[in-house]
Amino acid sequence: MDYQDIELLRFTTAGSVDDGKSTLIGRLLYDSKSIFQDQLDAVEASSKSKGFDYVDLSLLTDGLKSEREQGITIDVAYRYFATPKRKFIIADTPGHIQYTRNMVTGASTANLAIILVDARKGMLEQTHRHAFIASLLRIPHAIVCVNKMDLVDYSEEVYTNIVADFKAFSSKLDIKDIQFIPISALNGDNVVNRSENMDWYDGSTLMYHLETVHISSDHNLVDCRFPIQSVIRPHTLDYQDYRGFAGRIDGGIFKPGDKVKSLPSGFVTTIKTIELNGEEIAEAFAPMSVTMTLEDEIDNSRGDMIVRENNVPQIGQDLEVLVSWMSTTPMQARTKVVIKHTTNETVGMIKELKYKIDINTLHRIEGIDKVEMNDIARLSIRTAKPIFFDAYKKNRQTGSIIIIDEQTNETIGAGMII
């Protein structure tokens, strides 16, 4: 296989005990031959010593001692597999409400979300939650797998009703692309191979979807954004006057010769070269890491941003954000925090708590005086210096922030700019 020329797809799965998430992941790994014999042997031995009658594939993903002891997933686990068409990174997260922050973490880098629905139970609170988080974090694609079809006699009616229920709910959400697939992870129906038990379903299998879903437009290719990570100055005889700006492109397409503007200075210049390791690049776009040189000598440094002259981000000190709170310490208004945004860092103040969102019903809860761990809330933040940002809706990189506790240095919140 031509392994070198395949794309990378990052997807997230969320689920609770018994909804078949581990079985599904196990099935994907097993059927794509990504489980090795020694891993399987270890899991088999471990299942046996615990007295199970079957091989518990969740032991493959639950890596920490405490997780294995308790038989639950606590943290995000990353799993990897590849087919001749794509390489996949799974962010496997627990699905229970008390782990909302882990789901948010896993969702932040995903192109696609797999949402599992138990065919016997239909839409549950946790289905709402998983769909809402996918929408909140703006995962571009979702696949709703109606699982355990074998336990409802592969009934088309059961499936159609669940699809209708889901669509009614998701009309309130903002997910670009939702697909539905009836599966049995246990028996493998419609996971990698087409099911012989559901001739009424004429869509494709889960694996086919994962391999073919169109992801090239997931990155913003319109609004040019290049946050500077660092300045490269070799101080060698060969490169005496070299001044390169190192960073990763967060949006748009940059080319040598482009007129660009540097923020915050506002200075306009032209891109001289875009390169990496001395090799020149004709066109650079997200998510490429490059080094840029400019025609004019501009005093840029880390945290500055290079954009197009006629397409600048918002510049300001007042942010409206939806935040996922990650700390055991509740947040209150008037708290001083550190804000990280692109390669920029600044002190900020939580000015006002506006409302919380009940993530099961999507209802707003107004009049709140604190935000607790796993809450999703809307708030206003004032930063000490201006930052250059876009709405999260427009760009997931330039529209996101993390909130850090000044005293403990812990990451306490994840924010999406409205």
Partner 1 sequence: MSNYIINHLRELESEAIFVIREIAAQFENPVLLFSGGKDSILLTHLAKKAFFPAKIPFPLIHIDTGHNFPETIAFRDELVEKLGVTLIVGSVQEAIDKGRAKEETGADASRNSLQIVSLLDTLEEHKVDAAMGGARRDEEKARAKERFFSHRDEFGQWDPKNQRPELWNLFNGRKNYGEHFRVFPISNWTEMDVWEYIKLENIELPSLYFSHQRDCVVRDGVILANSEFITLKEGEAVETMTVRYRTCGDMPITGAVESTADDLDKIIEEIATTRTTERGGRADDKRAETAMEDRKKQGYF
Site for partner 1 in 363-402 (CB under 8 A): 396-397, 400-402
Closer by beta carbon to partner 1, 262 or else 400: 400
User: Binding of partner 1 at residue 89 (CB under 8 A)?
Assistant: yes
- Which one among 31, 32, 44, 46 touches partner 1, defined by CB under 8 A? 46
Looking only at residues 186 through 225 of this chain, which bind partner 1 when binding is defined by CB under 8 A? 214-217, 219, 221
Q: Is 288 one of the binding residues for partner 1 (CB under 8 A)?
A: yes
Does position 418 interact with partner 1 (CB under 8 A)? The reply is no
Establish if 238 lies at the interface with partner 1 (CB under 8 A): yes
- Does residue number 281 form part of the binding site for partner 1 (CB under 8 A)? no
Does 72 sit near partner 1 (CB under 8 A)? no
* In the complex, minimum distance from the CB of residue 75 to partner 1, in angstroms, rounded to a whole number: 5
Contact code string over 338-367 relative to partner 1, x by CB under 8 A: x-xx-x------------------------
Backbone torsions φ then ψ of 106, nearest 5 degrees: -65, -35
Sheet with strand 177-182: strands edge to edge: 77-82, 86-94, 7-15, 112-118, 141-147, 177-182
Which residues partner with 336 through β-bridges? 349
Question: Which H helix or E strand runs over 340?
Answer: strand 336-341
> Measured between alpha carbons, how far is 181 from 202 in angstroms, rounded to an integer?
10
**Cα 295 from Cα 131, distance rounded (Å):** 47
Per CB under 8 A, contacts with partner 1 among 97-156 are 101-102, 104-105, 108-109
Per rule CB under 8 A, is residue 404 in the interface with partner 1?
A: yes
- Looking at the DSSP bridge assignments, the partners of residue 101 are none
DSSP one-letter string for 166-185:
HHHHHTTS--SEEEEEE-BT
Cα–Cα distance for residue pair 133/322, rounded to 1 Å: 12
User: How would DSSP label each residue in 206-275?
Assistant: HHHHHHH---TTSS--SS-EEEEEEEE---SSTTTT--EEEEE--BSEE-TT-EEEEETT--EEEEEEEE
> Among the candidate windows 160-168, 283-291, 306-314, 370-378, which touches partner 1 by CB under 8 A?
283-291
Q: Indicate which single residue of 32, 86, 97, 360 sits in contact with partner 1 (rule: CB under 8 A).
A: 86
Q: Does the protein bind partner 1 through residue 302 (CB under 8 A)?
A: yes
Query: Please, which of residues 311-340 interact with partner 1 by CB under 8 A?
Result: 326, 338, 340
